[in-house]
Structure 1
Amino acid sequence: MMPSLPRDLMSWPFFSIAKTPRHLPIVCNIGAVHLEVAPSGRLPVATIWDADIIVWALSALRHAHARGQSVSVHVPGSPAEILRFTRRGEGAEKYDRLRDALDRLAGTRVTTTLGVPSGQDRVTFPWIVAWQERRGMIDLILPDWLHGAVTTPRGMLTLNHVWFGLTGGLERWLYLLARRHAGRQPSGWSFDLAHLYRKSPTAGSRKRFDLELRGIVSTQGLPGYRLVLTGTTTRGTLSFLPVAATYPQDYVDKWRFPVDNAVENRS
């Protein structure tokens, strides 16, 4: 079963990338897209590591759908199955962290204009509508916004399993961005740095963002891509160039999406 995510989830700052709890909302307004990701109660915003559970749930639904089975918003599975798939290992501490992640996903509220049904301006949902653990099994209920991507042609893309091993939050987010935009295009995809900062989930300053970005470029740790920085800090670009030798993924539906290579710098 290949890890998979909806394409829209790879392009925007849907999760906190901080390793400390974030209680401030993530707000992004670019062009016609509005996105707000906010905590509820005392729980912080769900993190990009919590998102591994969403990857597991959607991958399980996509796998079942591809085999001709009916799928719904209910996703059953054992804690051990989730931990193995996300390469977290096992043990009491891992199980406790899994439950904490489920609570954060259920407590985070997303409001967005992306993928809204006809007649609506925006939609609001939690990452997990509800979850329960009983007799060693976990049952999740996903929002319709996520479930719809599973059965939508061209709605999802596969991920490299190595993504689960990426420890940096910005690193993980950049991989999703590269997977979504650069794909297998020989010329890859480039982002204007100022625009990339506006689009990112970072809560830090632009200076700190640039410093962390340069560190990621120097280590070249993104599976399947080579990162290239060009220009100055204020007017530079970051390019994602596919590396065939480390790019084993394919599109979920075996389609190729024509995407024009360009520098993304929309305001």
Structure 2
Amino acid sequence: MVTENTNALPALLPDRHPQHDLFICDVADAALKDVMQHMEHPFYSLSKKPETRVKRYRNGDNWLEITPSVKGLATIYDKDILIYCISQIMAKVKRGEMVSPRVRINSHELLIFTNRGTSGREYLALLDALDRLEGTRIRTNITTGDEEQIDGFGLIDASSIRRKQGLDGRLLWCEVKLSDWVFNAIRNEEVLTLHRDYFRLRKPLERRVYELARKHCGQQKIWRISLAKLLLKTGSQSPEKRFRQMIRLLAANDHLPDYQVDYDEETDVVIFTNRGTMAPALPGGSHVPPLKAETYALARDVAPGWDVYHLEREWRDWIVEAPRDADSAFVGFCRKWFEKRGQP
């Protein structure tokens, strides 16, 4: 009825604080893409209630197992802390500063950055989130030939906290050490840009759907996916009938950042259309400015033996968004190229 729509909450949360561009390490793809290239299962809980059971997913012969802490599996809201940390690291990288997996978090800045309130309850929620991130463990198998390797890792390795006036005092700051898994993904530039309204999405499922659209549709004009496949990728525990209703509502409200959502009733397919709100992709790197002459000399120093003009072509074909400092970005690319491949 019309009265029901009139009384409904706005689709997006209010914009409580101004925010800058956001960066997210696409951890689900970055860490495991060389292991399970088609692995699409979620790492974070979409439930607001603690999930304390072990989750196990299988994709062919490969498997993924997520073990929560006693406080539950890390949630998609806990992921905000990682987004904040990665954004800080990316800002330093762009300024040419040294970075490390240890990140100092100003608690007040974090709450503002993630569009949250700044009440005492919000500070306490950060402590529980840190516990879940630190306690959640991920294990997966890698098959190489006839030998199986089992690797385990976490989201953050450690955290330290400072309060004002004892345990009941306000949380001042904390420091987290990102796991090698996450930090290596950042160093390998497996980073996606998020729309600032990501933190204004009310529902966990909306955040997860946006992440999938950002990853799979990206800069393309359209991405289509069956409703059943989308349900699987989100990790939602809702039955398909209820999930279909939620997607219909998402399409009707039309509030997902960067992408318009449509649902085709006849084919049971969800269609994402790029709104054109992101920075345009670079066709063949044509929008990257010419490099300085001294940049090629630096590239030869960090990638000895390689043809720097060949590396430049590789870099321009690979790059997605124009870097703020093209010369530094190219030298960094050459350094990573040599670290991975050595002498030609």
Shorter-chain TM band: 0.7 to 0.9
Match of 1:137 in 2: 173
196-205 or 97-106, larger mean C-alpha shift:
196-205
* Equivalent-residue separation in structure 1 for 2:141 and 2:254 (angstroms): 34
**CA distances 1:165-209 after superposition (whole Å, capped 9, x unpaired):** 1111111000001111111212x2111222222222112222222
Give the SS at the match of 2:56.
strand
* Equivalent-residue separation in structure 2 for 1:217 and 1:179 (angstroms): 16
- The one-letter amino acid paired with 2:88 is A
Match of 1:200 in 2: 234
Give the SS at the match of 1:129.
strand
* Equivalent-residue separation in structure 1 for 2:96 and 2:71 (angstroms): 38
Per-residue deviation at 1:126? Answer: 2.1
Tell me, which stretches of 5 or more residues in structure 1 are unaligned?
Answer: 258-267
* Equivalent-residue separation in structure 2 for 1:8 and 1:121 (angstroms): 20
Match of 1:48 in 2: 76
CA contact (8 A) 1:86 1:164 kept: yes
* Equivalent-residue separation in structure 2 for 1:31 and 1:196 (angstroms): 19
Match of 2:25 in 1: 6
Match of 1:256 in 2: 320
19-28 or 193-202, larger mean C-alpha shift:
19-28
* Equivalent-residue separation in structure 2 for 1:86 and 1:62 (angstroms): 16
Kindly indicate whether residue 45 of structure 2 is the aligned counterpart of residue 16 of structure 1. yes
Q: Compute the TM-score of the two structures, normalised by the length of structure 1.
A: 0.82
* Equivalent-residue separation in structure 2 for 1:151 and 1:17 (angstroms): 28
Match of 1:27 in 2: 56
Match of 2:341 in 1: none
CA contact (8 A) 2:141 2:149 kept: yes
Kindly indicate whether residue 270 of structure 2 is the aligned counterpart of residue 238 of structure 1. yes
131-140 or 101-110, larger mean C-alpha shift:
131-140
Match of 1:173 in 2: 208
Per-residue deviation at 1:223? Answer: 0.6
Kindly indicate whether residue 215 of structure 2 is the aligned counterpart of residue 215 of structure 1. no
Please, what is the CA RMSD of the aligned residues? 2.6
* Equivalent-residue separation in structure 2 for 1:32 and 1:55 (angstroms): 31
Kindly indicate whether residue 188 of structure 2 is the aligned counterpart of residue 158 of structure 1. no
**CA distances 1:39-83 after superposition (whole Å, capped 9, x unpaired):** 12x211111111111100111111112221121111112111211
Give the SS at the match of 1:36.
strand
* Equivalent-residue separation in structure 1 for 2:177 and 2:59 (angstroms): 30
CA contact (8 A) 1:4 1:158 kept: yes
* Equivalent-residue separation in structure 1 for 2:258 and 2:184 (angstroms): 28
Identity percentage of aligned residues: 31
* Equivalent-residue separation in structure 2 for 1:73 and 1:210 (angstroms): 40
Match of 1:104 in 2: 132
Larger RCO of the pair (alpha carbons < 8 Å, separation 6+) = 1
Tell me, which stretches of 5 or more residues in structure 2 are unaligned?
Answer: 1-19, 30-39, 164-171, 289-318, 322-344
Q: What number of residue pairs does the alignment pair up?
A: 246
CA contact (8 A) 1:28 1:199 kept: no
Kindly indicate whether residue 86 of structure 2 is the aligned counterpart of residue 58 of structure 1. yes
* Equivalent-residue separation in structure 2 for 1:113 and 1:144 (angstroms): 17
Q: Which has the higher helix share?
A: 2
